């Protein structure tokens, strides 16, 4: 089953950011994903394939809250 990612979800990536955080908030969804580091507020844009490959788990899902 494929997960559809939504704005505002918090995900944990496999690799750690240089600031030490692994948690990122999704701020844009589409062909590219824009994510914001919750440790230092740095923003990164990734292609969908690379983003989906690097996600380890979902910390906070929008589907749970709805």
pLDDT value for 7: 93
Domain assignment of residue 1, yes or no: no
pLDDT value for 1: 43
Is the pLDDT at 65 greater than 80? The verdict is no
Q: Residues 58, 17: contact at Cβ < 8 Å?
A: no
- The CA distance from 31 to 16, in Å, is 23
Counted domains in the chain? 1
Domain assignment of residue 27, yes or no: yes
Domain assignment of residue 41, yes or no: yes
Rounded average pLDDT over 38-56: 95
Which residue segment(s) compose the domain that 28 sits in? 10-60
Domain assignment of residue 19, yes or no: yes
**Alpha-carbon distances of 52 from 5, 26, 66, rounded to whole Å:** 9, 12, 22
3-state secondary structure of 50: helix
Rounded average pLDDT over 48-52: 94
- The CA distance from 31 to 18, in Å, is 26
Domain assignment of residue 4, yes or no: no
pLDDT in tens, 2-43: 678 999 999 999 999 999 999 999 999 999 999 999 999 999
Considering only residues 66 and 55, tell me which one the structure prediction assigns the higher pLDDT: 55
Q: Which residue has the tokens 């030490």?
A: 20
């Amino acid at each position: 089953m494929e997960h559809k990612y939504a704005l505002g979800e918090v995900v944990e990536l496999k690799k750690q950011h240089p600031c030490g955080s692994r948690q990122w908030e999704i701020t844009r969804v589409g062909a590219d994903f824009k994510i914001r580091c919750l440790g230092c507020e740095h923003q990164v844009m990734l292609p969908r394939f690379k983003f989906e490959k690097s996600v380890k788990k979902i910390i906070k899902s929008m589907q749970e809250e709805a």
